[in-house]
Amino acid sequence: MKHFAVVQHTYSEFLGTIENQLEKRDIGFIYFRPFVGQDLPGSAGQFDALFLLGGSRPPADREACPWVDDELRLLEVFRRAQRPVVAFGFGALLLAEQAGAKVSAEPLHTAYWTTGHRTAAGERDALAEAVDGRRLLVMYNGSAVLPAGVEPLVVDDDGNWIAIRPQRECYGMLFRPELKPGMLEDMIMEARRPVPDNISELLAEARREWKDTEETRDRVIVALVRELDLMKERKKMPVFHLNVPDNS
C-alpha cells in the first residue's frame, strides 16, 4: 500500500479536502506534528511521498518554529531519495529556502484571492495548466525571494510567484487547494493563533467559491498524480521486529 508522510504545523491545518482524494486512491498517510514536540521521521525509507502543510508563523522565525532545521533535513532526505514532495504555504517557503531562496519573517500575513496565471516556465506542466485562469486562495506567512535558476510555474494577478518546481520531484504552492471554509473557521477559533485582518472576507469568498474550489482541488490532485507519479509504490525498507527472549 502507498503511504505518505505528512508534516502538520498547526492544529487547524491538515490535508483537508485532499484526505478523501488520497483515500479513494488507496493511499494511506500519517501525520507528524513537530509543533507539539513530536519527532519527525529519520528517513524516507517507509514512505512513498512527503507532504508539508501550511502554518501560522513564518518558517524564517526560528524562535516560533524551532523544528524548522529538522524539517529541512527531512526535506533533503526525501529529495536525495528522489521521492515526491508536495508543499503548501509554510511548506512551500521551506522548499524555496532549501532551493536557495532568500527568506524573511515579514510580512507576518499574506492572504488573498487571486487568479492563477501559468508562466512560460509552466508550459506543458500539468499543475500549471490545471490552475491557469482559476480563482485561488493564497495564504502564507513570511516571504521568499526565489534564487536565479528557480522560475515560478504560476504567478498571481500582480506577477508574484505562487507555485514552483525547484526539482522534478518537488512542488511548492502558496495557493491552498486543501483549505475548506471549515478550516478557515477553525483558524479563527484556534487559541493564540494570529490570523490575517481580512480573514472574515477570505472566509466569505471561500464559501462563495466553494463549488469551483472543489473542482480546482480535483484538477490539482490529478496533475500531481500525473507529474509526480504518486500512484507508484516506491521500494520501502523492511521493518525488523526484535524478539527479546523471555528468561523469566
Helix (H) or strand (E) holding 170: strand 170-173
64-69: long-range pairs with CB below 8 Å, 24+: 65/9, 65/35, 67/34, 67/35, 67/40, 68/94
pTM assigned to the model: 0.93
Residue 206 predicted with pLDDT over 90? yes
Helix (H) or strand (E) holding 111: strand 110-115
Task: Please report, rounded to a whole number, the percentage of residues in the chain having pLDDT higher than 70.
Answer: 95
Neighbouring CB atoms inside 10 A of 15's CB total: 19
Model confidence pLDDT, tens digit, residues 113-144 = 999 999 999 999 999 999 999 999 999 999 99
* Largest pairwise CA distance in the chain: 72
What are the structural domain ranges in the chain? 2-228
Cell 493511499: give the residue: 27
CA angle 159, 221, 2 (to 5 degrees): 135
Residue 236 predicted with pLDDT over 80? no
Residue 248 predicted with pLDDT over 60? no
Per-residue three-class SS string for 12-41? CCCCCCHHHHHHHCCEEEEEECHHHCCCCC
Neighbouring CB atoms inside 10 A of 248's CB total: 3
Model confidence pLDDT, tens digit, residues 42-66 = 999 999 999 999 999 999 999 999 9
Are residues 161 and 118 in contact, defined by beta-carbon separation less than 8 angstroms? no
Residue 242 predicted with pLDDT over 60? no
Are residues 7 and 53 in contact, defined by beta-carbon separation less than 8 angstroms? yes
Q: What is the CATH class of 2-228?
A: alpha beta
